[in-house]
Amino acid sequence: MDKLNISIMNNTQLQVWKFGGASISNPDLVENVGSIVKNYLKTNAVLVTSAKGKTTNALETLVKAYMSESDEANKILEEIKQNHFQYAQALCGVGHPILNELNDLFVEIEWILEDPVIDPYDYVYDQIVSIGELVSTKVVSQYLVDQGIKANWLDIRDVILTDNRHREARVDWEITQKKSNKIKTLLESYDVIVTQGYIASSSENFTTTLGREGSDYTAAILSYCLDADSMHIWKDVPGILTGDPRLFKEVMKIDRLSYKEAVEMTYYGAKVIHEKTIKPLQNKSIPLFVRPFYTPEKDGTLISAEEPIGYPPVIVVNADQVLLHISTNDFSFVGEHHLGDLFTLFAKHRIRVNMMRNTAISFTVCTNNRPGRINAFEAELGDKYTLHKDSDLKLMTIRHYTEEVVKSFTKGKLVLFQERLKNTVHVVVKELVE
């Protein structure tokens, strides 16, 4: 491959690029990343990447095995390790010093596995799962350097600081903003800074994570703190589509979306972008381009403040929902004080209210099925209320609907709960078994 002609870089501009797990899942795709960087990157950039392929899922299995004291843990780790060594060798060459760096990162997991299980699950989870991003970024960064790109690897835990709510940590924006100066300084010497999505650090210096699929959010945090000119997410789809192509055949690309439209889609479960991504970008009017990594020459979707005229119907499906029916035991009306009690408990147990409705003596919410949280919530209801659960449900959100579209999406399903707004229909459905 040709060496990068650095003079084409515009050093006064900055873009944040994010490549997810799918876009670096094998050596050929990392080569594709290299050629996209060479051909399409015209400014300085921060390149955020996730763990490759399904590594995070494999590491989750490893955590489960360790926490349940199963012998499988070491075997799972060995598989992940070998897989990454082969990946690194294919890209950087057999015997490349990067292999030692990967080994050092995996040793951190080995040390944890040698110890008895003492620490809380979520804390251990973050210490182990974060290694996925650290190893993938090491390889991608080294590969770019070997291609003649002035790239430098950065440990994002030195920049993004969070609280210690493991697996769902909240960003300390003030400190992160200050620490992001480190990236600005690095960009005086390098064209591309390669760093990890999803992971961060608590003020006690322990690794935290931002929630599954959180790398998009990392890219938005950095775009905000660095006042980036634009953010670009490279995906295995042509852009944002009118529905998940894994679920619906007849979907089409949407060329332009407003921040408002994007935030509604992602909040209700469009898996294409992490739901927290839009706010930091909207707050600083930073445009977000969702671009196809298989056909980088094509335009993807542009998300910005501009509200395009007219959208096609868009469908978002959020699976694994549960309806919580809460009724008063003494037959009293559900009044403001009851709602106050219940919402205090929702906030305490982090129960997200996707939809709600009340009758004289009952209150119903549709929420994501998080059994641990729901059980803790139920335990605190005491003898004032009775909880009845309806699970295995889906929440379908149809934006810019027509009657015909609603009918076709709900066909063959039992509709348990429906809400119609001007632009949106939310329906909670159960699949009818034939």
249: partner contacted, choices ligand ASP, Mg ion, ligand ADP, none (Cβ within 5-8 A by kind): none
> What is the closest distance, in whole angstroms, from the C-beta atom of residue 134 to ligand ASP in the complex?
11
- List, in order, residues 6 or more apart from 71 with CB less than 8 Å away: none
Distances (CA, A) of 7 to 14, 142, 150: 15, 21, 12
* Residue 272 site contact among ligand ADP, ligand ASP, Mg ion, none (CB < 5 to 8 Å, cut-off depends on kind): ligand ADP
Q: For ligand ADP, give the closer residue by CB, 106 or 293.
A: 293
Least distance (Å) between residue 317 CB and Mg ion: 16
Distance of alpha carbon 171 from alpha carbon 164, whole angstroms: 10
Rounded to whole angstroms, the Cα distance separating 23 from 83 reads 17
Near ligand ADP by CB under 6 A: residue from 9, 22, 90, 186: 22
**End-to-end C-alpha distance for the chain, whole angstroms:** 56
281: partner contacted, choices Mg ion, ligand ADP, ligand ASP, none (Cβ within 5-8 A by kind): none
Binding positions for Mg ion, 182-221, rule CB under 5 A: 213
Q: What angle do CA 203, 209, 212 make, to 5 degrees?
A: 160
- The site partner of 337 among ligand ADP, ligand ASP, Mg ion, none (C-beta below 5 to 8 Å per kind) is none
Tell me whether residue 22 or residue 416 sits nearer to ligand ADP (CB atom). 22
Instruction: Tell me whether residue 311 is exposed, middle or buried, using C-beta atoms within 10 angstroms of its C-beta: 0 to 12, 13 to 18, 19 or more.
Output: middle
Sheet holding 199-202, edge to edge: 161-162, 199-202, 207-209
What part of residues 212-251 is at the interface with ligand ADP (CB under 6 A)? Answer: 213, 235-237, 240-241, 243-246
> Strand 10-19 vs strand 43-49: parallel, antiparallel, or unpaired?
parallel
Nearer residue to ligand ADP within complex by CB, 34 or 300: 300
Interaction between residue 20 and Mg ion (CB under 5 A):
yes
List the one residue from 179, 212, 256, 271 that touches ligand ADP (CB under 6 A): 271
**Pairing mode, strands 10-19 and 230-235:** parallel
Number of residues that bind ligand ADP (CB under 6 A): 18
The residues, any chain, with a CB within 8 Å of residue 187's CB and separated by 6 or more, are: 11, 14, 44, 193
Q: 196 vs 202, which CB is nearer to Mg ion?
A: 196
With CB under 5 to 8 Å by kind, the binding choice for 231 among ligand ADP, ligand ASP, Mg ion, none is none
Closest CB to ligand ASP among residues 51, 151: 51
**Shortest distance, CB of residue 130 to ligand ADP, whole angstroms?**
16
Planar angle of CA 203, 218, 59, nearest 5 degrees: 80
Q: Which residues 6+ apart lie within 8 Å of 228 measured at CB?
A: 14, 15, 16, 46, 222, 286
Contact track, ligand ADP, 45-84, x by CB under 6 A: -----x----------------------------------
CB of 271 to Mg ion, least distance (A): 7
Candidates 46, 98, 272, 351: give the one binding ligand ADP (CB under 6 A). Answer: 272
State the residues that interact with ligand ASP by CB under 6 A: 20-21, 50-51, 56, 132, 197-198, 212-215
| Minimum separation from the CB atom of position 216 to Mg ion (A) | 7
Of all residues in the shown chain, the one whose CB is closest to ligand ADP is 20
Closest CA to 137 of 215, 35, 209, 208: 215
Residue 272 CB, shortest distance to ligand ADP, in Å, is 4
Nearer to Mg ion, 172 or 213 (CB): 213
- Residue where the block lists tokens 């440990």: 155
285 HSE (CA, 13 A, CB side): 2
Decide if residue 262 touches ligand ADP (CB under 6 A): no
List 23, 130, 137, 147, residue binding ligand ADP (CB under 6 A): 23
> Considering the complex, what minimum distance in angstroms separates the CB of residue 56 from ligand ASP?
3
Q: Which does 197 bind (CB under 5 to 8 A by kind): Mg ion, ligand ADP, ligand ASP, none?
A: ligand ASP
Least separation in angstroms between residue 21's CB and ligand ADP is 5
Nearest C-alpha neighbor of 399 from the set 420, 428, 416: 420
Residues of this chain that bind ligand ADP (CB under 6 A) = 20-23, 50, 213, 235-237, 240-241, 243-246, 270-272
